A and B are shown apart, each in its own frame.
Chain A
Amino acid sequence: MIEVKDLHKAFGDVKAVDGVGFAARDGEITGLLGPNGAGKTTTLRMLYTLMIPDRGRVLVDGIDAVADPLAVRRRLGVLPDARGLYKRLTARENIDYFARLQGLPEDELRARREALVQALAMEDIADRRTEGFSQGQRVKTAIARALIHDPRNVILDEPTNGLDVMATRALRQFMLKLKAEGRCVLFSSHIMQEVAALCDRIVVIAHGRVVADATPDALREQTGQANLEDAFVKLIGSEEGLAA
């Protein structure tokens, strides 16, 4: 469970996040939807304690992110916008590194790692150095690395960015599996169909503010648009940065 209350963050004069608040519940997929530069990544960075909010609170399973960032990080699995694998290490070694930083005992580490390697269908690449990995292989490795400590809450920043159709489909299946396991899944996207297909709840962000927070159906009703894409355009008030 992730709760965000009235978050603010400014860089100089630019208000990147200007009063964002929402809740992502366990056993649901929550989509953070918004055009490029709307403040999605900055919001997520405050969630996983990389940045400290100027104002407002982040609670993960009831723990304040500013007061106890280490406890919050232990409860989060994070796929940041920057995937950043270590290219001189193999996929397995990349996963192991994060597992040890999470403090997993070695036997648990092996079991979890192999389960993830299997779940993400990456047996064929697991012992290759990540240098030269395709975008899809990189995302798989980064996701395995992020979930190695079996976190209740999963944050994925634009997870399908740069993936081909097959990889995107596989990733969506995987996210549904995470939801079925009862986890709280929060992901950001600027792709309409993806959000519509996956989300139990959509939080639309534009210009650093939440402009809508509802189920996909409620969103369609609210805007009077049958098509979610039209609903989105109406909500953010322009077609700026909208990509499919």
Chain B
Amino acid sequence: MNTLQTTPLRRSRAFLTVFLKEVRENLRDRRTLTSAFLTGPLLTPLLFVMLISFTVNRELDKAEQPLKVPVIGAQYAPNLVGALEAGGVVPQPAIADPERAVREQRADLVLRIAPGYAEAWRKGEPVQVELIYDSSQRDSGTPVDRVTKLVEGYARQQGAMRLVARGLSPGVAVPVVVAKRDQATAQSRAVLMFNMLPYLFVLTIFIGGMYLAIDLTAGERERQSLEPLFANPVPRWKIFLGKLAAICAFSTASLLICLLAFGVTGRFVPTEKLGMEVNLGPAFALHVLLLQLPLIVLLAGLQSMVAAFAKSYREAQTYLSLLMLLPILPSIALMVMPLRPKDWMYAVPLLGQHLGILDLVRGEGIGAVPLALCLGGSALAALVVALVTMQLYRSERLAISG
């Protein structure tokens, strides 16, 4: 009869008991703490911001700074060289073997003017100047564009002057003109750079819960504590839910720290220099958190499931490192084949979050339908994964270690 009285009490406490114990125990583990609250959530924002600042500043520097270009045969075309100088190019003395110099990265690019330049110019024939560069070098892109534009500008100008000298309108030679009207707003340009952001968030969630997921299933089995645990009068699914909640608590905390870090470091990204506008403030953070909530449960469930298959801590670690590659798929897929986002895509876990976060970065906000689809789709997937893992927990083999 004592049993009967305390039964309702037992029901309500088992979940909380497991949850609190797992949280407390793992708060005492330095490795779990470091990866969930320090390296995981802080490293990514730091790296991201550093990378972007570095790229932005370098691009800006290049556009403004004098560009040193070795010029071969500068004496044949003083006017052309003069035009280049006016555009910020600083001609350097000629070098012997320009092709080799470029291949060996001693020079970004070399301009070669043929000895026949002056002769052809006088006859009014087209003349060629050569730009020697190596496009497989990251550094060459911007300088090549700059020098090409300067040469082409000079050519257009001279061509127009020749036409005028012959009494023709320069417009005759330009029947069609392309007028570029870029519809990208400042925010939408930022999206290109922030394409990795959704993956970074997912990665943070993943790392935040990873050690817990391993510890709570494979680890507990390896330490042989699962058998005595299951001897308690608590259904295994309640134990599983308590553990799942503990994993979710850690990964959510990890994501929160990450968002906070982005909010702070985001201010140091010199996006305004590129005419971009990115707001990583509280509104952004709250929306990201909302989008990721079902994903947090889904990932925790997946991690527990994979860890439950593993026979040892080490094995679980190996499997989970492989699983970590899964969330990168939508990012890669969207980079390789840029799809037009359709509503149904939001219902696909990971992909939905990816698109949603990009919408937020783009400053458009996320619509009610995509938001509902994103939350609903991921929540459904989380439920399925949780049910499957619960089933796994019922297996006899799970508790037996060795």
Contact = CB atoms under 8 A, between A and B. Distances in A.
Contacts of A79: 228
B233 interface: yes
A142 B230 CA distance: 14
User: Could you say which interface size class chain B belongs to?
Assistant: 20 to 34
A142 B228 CA distance: 9
B232 A84 contact: no
Contacts of A78: 228, 231
A80 B29 contact: no
Contacts of A82: 224-228, 401
B231 A73 contact: yes
A71 B235 CA distance: 11
Interface string B230-259: 111111000000000000000000000000
Contact of B3 (A71, A83, A93, A145): A71
A101 B227 contact: no
Contacts of B10: 102-103
B227 A80 contact: yes
- Secondary structure at chain B's binding surface: helix, strand, loop or mixed? helix
Of the candidates A49, A82, A85, the one having the most CB atoms from chain B within 10 angstroms of its own CB is A82
Of the candidates A89, A98, A101, A146, the one having the most CB atoms from chain B within 10 angstroms of its own CB is A101
Interface string B257-285: 00000000000000000000000000000
Nearest to A103: B10
Contact of B235 (A70, A81, A146): A70
Nearest to B398: A50
Contact of B9 (A74, A84, A93, A103): A103
A97 interface: yes
A101 B29 CA distance: 23
Contact of B13 (A52, A83, A103, A145): A103
Interface string B11-43: 001100110010011101100000000000000
Contacts of A84: 220, 223-229, 401
A86 interface: yes
A34 to B, nearest CB: 19
Interface in A138-178: 142, 145-146
A101 B400 CA distance: 20
A103 B227 contact: no
Given A52-B396, A80-B228, A101-B234, A88 B13 contact: no
A76 B232 CA distance: 9
A218 interface: no
B3 A88 contact: no
Interface residues of A, number: 34
B225 to A, nearest CB: 3
Contacts of B396: 50-52
Given A97-B21, A103-B9, A71 B233 contact: yes
A112 to B, nearest CB: 14
A84 B231 CA distance: 12
A100 interface: yes
B228 A89 contact: no
Interface in A32-84: 45, 48-52, 70-71, 73-74, 76, 78-84
Contacts of A49: 231
A79 B227 CA distance: 10
A71 B6 CA distance: 12
B231 A103 contact: no
A85 B13 CA distance: 21
Given A84-B226, A100-B17, A48 B231 contact: yes
Contacts of B26: 88
A97 B17 contact: yes
- The 7 A-B residue pairs with the shortest CB-CB distance, nearest first, are A84-B225, A82-B224, A103-B10, A84-B224, A73-B233, A101-B232, A100-B17
29 contacts: A50-B227, A50-B396, A51-B396, A70-B235, A71-B233, A76-B231, A80-B227, A83-B224, A83-B228, A84-B227, A84-B401, A85-B225, A86-B225, A88-B26, A88-B28, A89-B28, A93-B21, A93-B24, A98-B232, A100-B17, A101-B18, A101-B229, A101-B232, A101-B234, A103-B10, A103-B13, A145-B228, A146-B228, A146-B231
Interface of A: 45, 48-52, 70-71, 73-74, 76, 78-89, 93, 97-98, 100-103, 105, 142, 145-146
Interface of B: 3, 6-7, 9-10, 13-14, 17-18, 21, 24-26, 28-29, 220, 223-235, 396, 399-401
